[in-house]
Amino acid sequence: MLDYVDATEDFFLGAEQWETPLINDPMLALHSPFLDLILVLDTCASYRRHMGTAKHPWLQCVISCLIGTFGGTTVAMLSLGQPPGWAGNIGSPVAFAMGFWMIFLCPGDIFYKLITRHRSIELIFGYINTLSCGHAITSWGQDQALKAFHLSHTPGSGPLAIWCGMIAGCGGGIVANALSASGKTPDWIFGTPVVLKGPSITVKTAFLSSCLYYLIRNPHGWFSYGTDAFMTHTQAKTCIWLVWVVVLTLHELLKIPDPTAPFTKLVGKICLCGGMIGGQPESGIYEKIFGDGAMTGEDSALSGFGFVKKVPGAGEVAANGNGKKTN
């Protein structure tokens, strides 16, 4: 049993160092990380599939696919005030150039058809990408927040660590959707990302696994059980990868629509939070005590959104910036 656990851990940790065959020339300092190449192929294929029969300018395709591929780790590193890791070496740009050419420019579109027309290939790519997700949450996201050199003199921030882990694992899709840069439309239009309205399984898995990684490690010692008390740092990283493997298996093979639903529903019940929140409140005990007076007329000195002044009997009256009723 222990040998199996060690072998699984070695497999996951070693995957980060995999190189693409034939593209590894020490004389030219040329190499291509295998996980990056697979992620680029998957992202570019998804973008082209969303395009349908339309064609987009080549530079638009390049930038859009860059955002979808490396947007998550880029946002995480910018949150820490550090340059993105993928831009600091030759490997990731080479992998992107290779993957982009294979999907968009290869004669006969062989690689694009191979990926998009064979379910088994798509599933294999999905499982390989769980390795990228596992490393994104841990090595490329949360661990970077924990060891950032310019934060070393501070006590450290748990929320920042969890944020960097989550956004590194799913940020590319969020940014691409926010800019409408997923290939579905020919023009970029900033709007609410579709993956947040759900939210998507990827976003929820990234958030839950980042929280789990922080709780397992307890890097700031906020909890009484101590730092890395349950398992080693590398074992915790491996567990996060296995979370992604389990979610993918449940969703793709066992056809469970949303494997994360039980956890998100539990969190919602604990926090008294439904799927949709906000809107005008219903009348209740507050109105019985204080009346139903509301506020009209913005006061920007109190709030960025603007508070409004209280007017008796205006409990359900919406107001615009001039304090007038709106129909």
Helix (H), strand (E) at residue 233:
helix 233-252
Domain extent listing, the chain: 16-270, 282-327
Whole-angstrom distance, CA of residue 247 vs CA of residue 208: 11
Q: What is the dihedral of CA 220, 223, 224, 225, to 10 degrees?
A: -80
Q: Model confidence over 4-27: pLDDT tens digits?
A: 889 999 999 999 999 988 776 666
Tokens of 57: 């300018």
- 37-76 burial string, b = 16+ CB within 10 Å, else e? bbbbbbbbbbbbeebeeeebeeeebbebbbbbbbbbbbbb
124-128, 207-211, 215-219, 322-326: which has the minimum mean pLDDT? 322-326
Whole-angstrom distance, CA of residue 157 vs CA of residue 179: 29
Tokens of 244: 């992604």
pLDDT above 70: residue 312: no
Q: Model confidence over 243-288: pLDDT tens digits?
A: 999 999 999 999 999 999 999 999 889 998 888 888 888 888 888 8
Q: Model confidence over 60-112: pLDDT tens digits?
A: 999 999 999 999 999 999 999 889 989 888 899 999 999 999 999 999 999 99
Closest to 262 in 3D by CA, of 223, 204, 194: 204
